[in-house]
Amino acid sequence: MPRTDAPIGAQHFVPADAHELDELKAAAAHCRGCELYEDATQTVFGRGNADARVVFVGEQPGDVEDQKGLPFVGPAGRLLREAVDDAGIDPGSVYITNAVKHFRFELRGKRRIHQSPGPTHITACRPWLVAEFAQLKPELVVVLGATAAKALLGPSFRVTRSRGQLMPWPASAQHPEDFPVAEVQALATIHPSAVLRADDRDAAYAGLVEDLKVAATVL
């Protein structure tokens, strides 16, 4: 039977009185806000310090991240670290997380093939992102790819059209009131996985670094 019910959402699992990212992470391990927890290995929460100057938001954990329980530790993560370094951003000043905290995949034989999260998963998981931002006070938010853009900037935002531009955020979000945080600068760019998939990988990588250099100007 196909599922027709909307997910109940992560808001039922987010501790209202959390004072630390670690409390959120511990609670997120038990989240059942949507069905993605059923097949994934574990929740992959954000990583970094509460005093990070930059917050990177990706899509969802990949295969490696799902097994290790940490964001951006697979091939896309390796590429992102390289790009962060080439853009002159201090990796020690970064908090990194995802719009959706469980790996969504399709089983083909024994292989787990990445499937992008749908709008219901992005909406269901967003309370974790909101809760993370409530503990963080970055100067800059870097939005990696379309899924993170949907979660942070709204469904009509187009990364290809508006990448590499600094914007005041959450003012530029579709519903800024969803993020009760101080105004910061945000910049959207392509997802590092898109660089790995690109026909002209060198050009795609150079574009990513160029965008991140724009982001770095506010630091």
| Residue 161, SS3 per DSSP | helix
SS3 content of the chain, % helix, strand, coil (to 5): 40, 15, 45
Q: Which of residues 123-152 bind ligand SF4 (CB under 6 A)?
A: 124-125, 128
Nearer to ligand SF4, 37 or 56 (CB): 37
Six-digit token pair at 189?
């760019």
Nearer to ligand URA, 71 or 127 (CB): 71
Angle, alpha carbons 54-176-165 (nearest 5°): 50
Among ligand SF4, ligand URA, none, the one that 100 touches (CB under a kind-dependent 5 to 8 A) is ligand SF4
Q: Choose, by CB under 6 A, the member of 25, 43, 98, 181 that binds ligand SF4.
A: 43
Radius of gyration (Cα) for the chain, nearest Å? 16
Nearest to 173 by CA among 107, 126, 113, 121: 126
DSSP 170: T
Q: Choose, by CB under 6 A, the member of 14, 21, 24, 37 that binds ligand SF4.
A: 37
Nearer to ligand SF4, 34 or 184 (CB): 34
Among ligand SF4, ligand URA, none, the one that 125 touches (CB under a kind-dependent 5 to 8 A) is ligand SF4
| Interaction site with ligand SF4 (CB under 6 A) | 10, 28, 31-34, 36-37, 43, 100-102, 121, 124-125, 128
